[in-house]
Amino acid sequence: MGLEEKLAGWTGPSSSTEQDKQERTERMIREAIKEHAAFDACDLRIYAKGSYANNTNVKTDSDVDIAVQCRDVMYWDEAKPGIHTSTSPYQGIWTPTKLRSELQNALVKKFPGQVDTSGSTAFRIHSGSARVDADVVPCFNYRYYFASGGRDGAKVFKKDGFSLINYPDQQLANGRDKNNRTGKNYKKTVRIMKRVENAMVLDGKHREVPSFFVECLVYHCPDDIFSRSTWTDVVRGVINHIYHGLDGAEPSDASQRWLEVSECKWLFQPGQAWTRADGRAFAQATWTYLGLTS
């Protein structure tokens, strides 16, 4: 099989069987929460996020990521002091500890013996014959206030009390927009790059690279690259852009810095699980693995 044929075969989403398992997993998690009486009076938003929601996952990375977001509480930050005038502090029962505890109770009851609670952030539900693995994250409404308007996201509290902010709605919308602008080729290319990464790991040619990181690297590539006439040329352009674009240190000019797909957070910053050097190493390994030439 030639390279072009192999790449073309890697553009598709998970198989229909895998998608059925993903959908069943999501449905059962929703049922677990609906059946848990402690949540009857809690305003929850339950939604899929990550590559499953974005339709960029592949079989090896077919886990389902589900957020359980409490809308009874709004956490917030402001760009400058005084922009937002806070109302009365929340006095209800839904603290980060309470939400995590009740979510654990609901999941353990629905999936006895299959819930891993050791993680710092998410509950891991192990797969069965009719399900895939799932990560379930408790979180709260969040808003960042600017001088004019604001940005809505989700605030996740870890077990140790530290927190992080995610912007899943913006990630979903931006991925769809880029896919539409590129004639549906953006998400196909993401799947190619994820499958190349999986193949390299399987063959011992490169270390594992986070699926989300791969998606962000591809997202940053200019739209015109995805309109090239062959998948080989598309992938060549993507790899070149990543490799050369990440040369050197993080730019001091904010307009030159790379963003996550949500375009709300810097891709490279302290505390991230990856660096610019990791991105370049992945690009170089992919180029060599596919046997590309300039």
**pLDDT tens, 122-139?**
999 998 888 989 999 999
Cβ(278)–Cβ(258) below 8 Å: no
What whole-number distance in Å separates Cα of residue 36 and Cα of residue 47?
17
Cβ(64)–Cβ(48) below 8 Å: yes
At 294 the pLDDT is: 74
DSSP 86: -
At 86 the pLDDT is: 78
What whole-number distance in Å separates Cα of residue 30 and Cα of residue 36?
10
At 61 the pLDDT is: 67
- Please give the structure tokens belonging to residue 139: 């979180």
Q: Would the pLDDT of 273 be above 70?
A: yes
What whole-number distance in Å separates Cα of residue 168 and Cα of residue 239?
26
Over residues 224-232, the mean pLDDT reads 98
User: Which has the higher per-residue pLDDT, 17 or 187?
Assistant: 187
What whole-number distance in Å separates Cα of residue 44 and Cα of residue 59?
30
% residues pLDDT > 70 (the chain)? 99
- Please give the structure tokens belonging to residue 129: 């014959």
User: Which has the higher per-residue pLDDT, 50 or 107?
Assistant: 107
% residues pLDDT > 90 (the chain)? 83
271: left (phi over 0), alpha (psi -120 to 50) or beta: left
Q: How confident is the model at residue 165 (pLDDT cuts 50, 70, 90)?
A: very high
Mean pLDDT of the chain: 94
pLDDT in tens, 42-88: 999 999 998 888 888 776 665 899 999 999 999 999 999 988 887 78
